[in-house]
Amino acid sequence: MPQSRTALSWLADSVLYQIYPQSFADSDGDGIGDLAGITERLDYLEWLGVDAVWLSPCFDSEFGDAGYDVTDYLSVAPRYGTNEDAVLLVEAARVRGIRVMLDLVPGHTSHRHPWFRESANTPGDHRYIWSDHIPSPMREWVPNLGARGGFYRANFYAIQPALNFGYARPDDAEPWRQPVDAEGPRANLAALQEIMGFWFDLGVSGFRVDMAFSLVKDDPGQVETAKLWGRVREWVDRVYPDRALLAEWGDPKVSIPAGFHSDFFLHFDGPALRSLWDNGTGSKGPWTDGRPCYFDPDGKGSTAAFLAEWNAADEAADGRGLIALPTSNHDFSRLACGPRTRDMVAPAFAFQLTWPSLPVIYYGDEIGMRYVPDLPDKEGSQLDTQARQGSRTPMQWDDGPNAGFSTAAAESLYLPIDPDPDRPTVEAGRADEQSLLQQVRRLVELRKKVPDLGTTAPVRVLHRDYPFVYTRGDSHLVVINGRRDPVVVTVTGVEGAVPVLTSGVDVVDGEIRATGFSYGIFSLGPEDRVSPTTPSSTGETS
């Protein structure tokens, strides 16, 4: 891959905000959020200080998987409005200095997409992956009910047939395997670029790419998939050079060299995210592994796993891309989950917004919305035992009916409002200077004012675990205590640190004193900056 690639400057300086459109704001009273509702709430996002929003899929869909089963990539789903509403949203956001990114689903369509309906009835059509006989093993294959018969390969749920981007390796026992340069794969790559160009031309600033790793099948090391995305990146750089590609890949060591501007640390690929906040701890949340995490109230976790993953990813990215760190997402339980309440999560935000990752805030996390357990399945949200719907409840705007989300009857809402009478709201958070929302806003503002707290300045770990202590650019000191117990530690070279934004942390004569669930950001004067030769207390640097 070209060594001259660098991260987009606007993306490197951004704080992203993920919106689940059906749960954010309902403008027409049908109980489901929509694009016009998002447009009406842009003033809030501007006040919060976010630079870009990423919308989960808003294309036409049968909604068997909440929009990740697309029936028309070039049309907004009627429940959300029209393409004209999308253009109005993009323009209204632009005026406020906010970019809009969409969610792209390239690896599969709905089984009701016109492409699939034609392919299911047309022998010789290779837009999808077909077998005329019963494949072995049968896993991932679905009987075809169309005139063509046979079986198609699914990418996730059975209703999501995999688009054919080819196989990296032939197999005489599987004659359906086509090479990556066959007619079907080439047609799908051309269609992918056509879809992206359509939305780029309407003003969209980029895409978060769903299951970006899943295109080429039987692809050891995902070498051929990486080559495919490299070709897409070359096209983007040539035709739309200011647009961004964010991968749902979960392995920045592969995806960023492949051509993505950023990739996520994710819950399902490696320990990096769960070792920080395994949001399922003490609950029935998605993908919990039951292991201690750093932001565990009892202080049983460690930053070691995260730091190991971070160092490897950062070295592989080599300035060509960014590692995105989400507070949570539509598949993963919220920060406020199980034993961790909203009064405990401010240190997690302080870490996220001072570490050199690309911060992505999931809607509602900034006010302390909790993962709501024991909700009914909604549009495929119940994945085996994983109840993803608990992270998809409506945004809580105020204390009015339906928490200000919608004027519809409660029984008509997409998902129920959190029934907790003490649920947080935007309105209450804005009115309380000590609220989590106000703390997050101040942290976002500080990150923007201090370049050394962003993605480019070096980070150096001085003390691992409780408290987690590091410097940014040798000009700022950050202290994070993610547990309820206070802690005192002595760190050489931080005498005279001046508080910039603190909550429960003091530095006195080189001694750091941190109360439970606390954080502190300090400036270091020239005479107080940590020497580059000063060893870390853990021997780890980054």
**Quick one: which H or E segment has residue 474?**
none
Tell the residue number behind the tokens 């996390």, with chain if given: 365
**pLDDT (average), residues 116-144:** 93
DSSP type of residue 506:
E
Per-residue pLDDT tens digits for 18-77:
999 999 999 999 999 999 999 999 999 999 999 999 999 999 999 999 999 999 999 999
pLDDT at 537 over 90: no
Per-residue pLDDT tens digits for 401-460:
999 999 999 999 999 999 999 999 999 999 999 999 999 999 999 999 999 999 999 999
Domains of the chain: 9-107+184-448 (3.20.20.80), 110-162 (3.90.400.10), 459-523 (2.60.40.1180)
CA gap 473, 153 in Å, rounded: 49
Task: Give the E-state strand segments of 355-426 in sequence order.
Answer: 358-362, 382-383, 386-387
Tell the residue number behind the tokens 């928490």, with chain if given: 403
Please, are residues 148 and 120 in contact by the beta-carbon 8 Å criterion? yes
pLDDT at 462 over 70: yes
Q: What is the pLDDT of residue 135?
A: 83
Q: What is the pLDDT of residue 95?
A: 98
Partner residues linked to 502 by β-bridges: 520
**Quick one: which H or E segment has residue 463?**
strand 459-463
Per-residue pLDDT tens digits for 168-227:
999 999 999 999 999 999 999 999 999 999 999 999 999 999 999 999 999 999 999 999
CA gap 414, 243 in Å, rounded: 32
**Three-class HEC string of 124-148:** CCCCECEECCCCCCCCCEEECCCCC
Per-residue pLDDT tens digits for 336-364:
988 889 999 999 999 999 999 999 999 99
For residue 149, how far is the Cα from the chain centroid?
38
Residues 6+ apart with CB under 8 A from 130: 119, 144, 148, 150, 151, 152, 153, 176
pTM of the predicted protein model: 0.94
pLDDT at 2 over 90: no
Please, are residues 395 and 425 in contact by the beta-carbon 8 Å criterion? no
Please, are residues 460 and 471 in contact by the beta-carbon 8 Å criterion? yes
Q: Which of 175-189, 213-227, 501-515, 520-534 is the least confident region?
A: 520-534
Per-residue pLDDT tens digits for 87-108:
999 999 999 999 999 999 999 9
Q: Which of 121-125, 267-271, 370-374, 529-533 is the least confident region?
A: 529-533
Please, are residues 105 and 57 in contact by the beta-carbon 8 Å criterion? yes
